[in-house]
């Protein structure tokens, strides 16, 4: 389930990129999540019953977390994608476990462990190599990196949202995702109304939306509904330390799609992706070892 989800997310970038020619990022995000909400609500009712629709008196908190996740990550990803290549944008989500190290360290005001700092550094170097194709000076010249920065901001929003799930320990992954998605989509609706009313984006043409129906089906059913359910279920079985390694398949899938589409990535891009994957593996394996008690320190029963 984790592998299928990661590959679906990796292919999502290549699906969305051509859609942006006719459909603005705000409408694309609204349609994607707007159709996913009722499907997940029905599944939640069938699995957990009406009681699962209770907000436990935390409406504002759920709305804030949903806004971080879906307008934050979802919309920022699409906006960033409009300025960069799909395979470049797909590298950023692989940094989420490393971003969480930075966020948690800032929250707790503690320094990350050496292996974590090493992983974060490797990951950032890898992303820079991918984005600039081995020429970091492009970042200073403004020739690269803007789209990736938007995706990075969105990924950070998603990390904060994910950490916020700990505030709802009695909720299932399906319930937390569905309720926050509902509130997050409400925020997307408000943003859509604003950008249309101010003329920031034109009113989408119905013909464009209908012609993109197959792509929207992929985004709604595969990347959203199936992705959210499979990812949560897979994580519960394998636990985050092992399960998070499957996020590596996101950039790998995106680059595979690019190869099939005729784009040949440079050696710098391949090297950058390899560094990002190495960083994630180092952090995951090292953190697992760090949590495992040493036989020399275990007390006899």
The mean pLDDT value for 278-289 works out to 72
Domain segments of the chain as ranges: 2-289
Rounded distance between C-alpha atoms, residue 15 and residue 219, angstroms: 8
The predicted model scores a pTM of 0.83
pLDDT value of residue 300: 38
Token reading at 143 = 């020739």
Name the more confident of 143 and 214. Answer: 214
Between CA 221 and CA 210 the distance in angstroms is 16
The string of pLDDT tens digits covering residues 46-102 is 999 999 999 999 999 999 999 999 999 999 999 999 988 888 888 888 788 788 888
Q: Distance between CA 99 and CA 92 in Å, rounded?
A: 10
Distance CA 183, CA 146 (A): 28
- Most confident region among 150-159, 177-186, 246-255 by mean pLDDT: 177-186
> What is the reported pLDDT for 32?
95
Q: Identify whether the C-beta of residue 112 lies closer than 8 Å to the C-beta of residue 120.
A: yes
Instruction: Label residues 20-34 b or e (16+ Cβ within 10 Å = b).
Output: eeebbbbbbbbbbbe
DSSP E strand stretches across 189-300? none
Half-sphere exposure of 205 (CA within 13 A, CB side): 8
Mean pLDDT rounded to a whole number for the chain: 84
Q: Residues 119-164: pLDDT tens digits?
A: 778 777 777 777 776 666 655 555 567 888 899 999 899 889 988 8
Structure tokens at 187: 């925020």
pLDDT of residue 142: 53
């Amino acid at each position: 389930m984790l592998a299928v989800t990661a590959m679906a997310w990796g292919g999502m970038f290549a699906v969305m990129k051509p859609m942006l020619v006719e459909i603005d990022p705000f409408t694309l995000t609204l349609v994607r999540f707007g159709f996913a909400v009722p499907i997940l609500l029905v599944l939640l009712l069938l699995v957990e019953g009406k009681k699962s629709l209770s907000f436990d008196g935390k409406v504002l908190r759920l709305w804030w977390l949903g806004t971080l996740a879906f307008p934050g990550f979802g919309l920022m990803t699409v906006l960033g994608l409009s300025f960069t290549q799909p395979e470049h944008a797909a590298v950023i989500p692989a940094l989420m476990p490393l971003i969480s190290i930075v966020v948690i360290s800032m929250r707790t005001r503690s320094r990350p462990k050496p292996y974590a700092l090493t992983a974060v550094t490797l990951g950032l170097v890898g992303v820079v190599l991918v984005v600039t194709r081995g020429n970091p000076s492009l970042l200073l010249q403004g020739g690269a990196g803007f789209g990736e920065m938007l995706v990075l901001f969105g990924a950070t929003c998603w990390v904060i949202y994910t950490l916020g799930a700990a505030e709802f320990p009695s909720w299932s992954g399906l319930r937390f995702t569905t309720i926050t998605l509902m509130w997050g989509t409400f925020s997307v609706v408000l943003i859509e109304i604003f950008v249309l009313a101010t003329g920031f984006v034109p009113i989408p043409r119905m013909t464009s939306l209908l012609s993109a129906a197959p792509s929207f089906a992929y985004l709604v059913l595969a990347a959203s509904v199936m992705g959210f359910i499979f990812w949560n279920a897979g994580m519960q079985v394998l636990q985050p330390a092992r399960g998070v390694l499957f996020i590596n398949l996101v950039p790998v899938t995106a680059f595979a799609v690019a190869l099939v589409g005729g784009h040949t990535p440079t050696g710098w891009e391949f090297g950058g992706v390899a560094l990002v994957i190495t960083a994630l593996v180092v952090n995951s394996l090292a953190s697992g070892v760090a949590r495992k008690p040493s036989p020399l320190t275990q007390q006899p029963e």
